[in-house]
Amino acid sequence: MVKSLKKLSGSQLVIPLFALFLVIAFNLIRDPAFFSVSIIKNNFGNMVLSGNLVSILHGASELAVLAIAMTLVTSATKGQDISVGALAAIAGSVFVRVLRGGEINLQVILLGFVAACVVAVIFALFTGTLVSLFNIQPMIASLILFTAGRPIAYWINGGATPTVENQMLTYIGSFFPGIPIPSPILIVIVFGILVTLALRFTNLGLYTQTVGINERAARLNGINPVFIKLLAFAMIGVCAAIAGSINVCRIGLINHETILIDIEMDAILAVAIGGNALSGGKFKLAGSVIGAYIIQALTITLYAMRVSSTAVKAYKAVVIIAIVVLGSPVVQHYAARLRNRLFGKTMTVTETN
């Protein structure tokens, strides 16, 4: 038992799990019914799940997807891409442009998503090229697309804010018929499983961490750092296309100014809250996903407490600062020393007996 506790205390998941525990405990004390889930009938006459817990999982879908890609970029490049929101706006605009080109059916939806992926990956690789070949800091390199991305999204649809109305799109953004779980949650689950399998059955995860820890050593061991970094940015493009497409299907239109606004900051915070070092290297995707849901849970909690929308960001900032400080290297160092003192003595006594 002591060994298990010691192992857990040294895990990267300690901070996100502890933060998640605090959010859950606070809401259970404040309102025991906060996490209650009920079954209601939606506008299409289908029985679906409803409640704050469902809203948290549903509302954080885009953020969870982008947090996965942000984790890989952070690990490989020791920096963050601040253009993911603008990139999602570009991908969403391409998606809508294809959908409005003809009658909307499954084939057109798939074509639109593929087109959004291709365009988003091309733009993401532009940033990746600046980072991997020209050694520009990721935050500076992505500042270009952060500034120009939303105007580009505006130009793609001719300066309009077009709507797309189709029942199939509504299903993708809300609920599939006969399935009570919101479809964006299912998309995140499927995508998360695919990424996990790719990292587990290939050396991509190992190579990404190796490049982030020591690029020179990685090169000496036959790993191409440029390729690994470009692959991480390509993942940013794919995830931005998924997030942008989900958002379009959710609200039925594309607004280049408001779509996933400020989500890049939340994605970076999700990585930090997830126990991943923003200086690169070792990572845990599960931690980043948990971090995304923690951020959304904080938002829903504040709204449930009737905090005004203008003040929500300030309250979130205070809580997130506390969480990030707890996960800082300085605090981690002192926590490790305390852990070694407590568990070290316990282990000695146990082994002696």
pLDDT of residue 6: 47
pLDDT of residue 347: 46
3-state secondary structure of 323: helix
pLDDT higher for 232 or 323? 232
Phi then psi for 163, rounded to 5 degrees?
A: -105, 155
d(CA 66, CA 289): 9
CATH class, domain 53-311, is mainly alpha
Nearest to 80 by CA among 142, 135, 126: 142
Q: Is the pLDDT of residue 209 over 60?
A: yes
d(CA 144, CA 126): 10
Mean pLDDT (whole number) for 208-235:
95
Q: What is the pLDDT of residues 69-107, one digit of tens each?
A: 999 999 999 999 999 999 999 999 999 999 998 888 999
d(CA 18, CA 275): 11
Q: How confident is the model at residue 345 (pLDDT cuts 50, 70, 90)?
A: low
pLDDT of residue 11: 63
Domain boundaries, the chain: 53-311
- Asked if 275 contacts 13 with a C-beta cutoff of 8 angstroms, the reply is yes
Q: Is the pLDDT of residue 220 over 60?
A: yes
Q: What is the pLDDT of residues 120-155, one digit of tens each?
A: 999 999 999 999 999 999 999 999 999 999 999 999
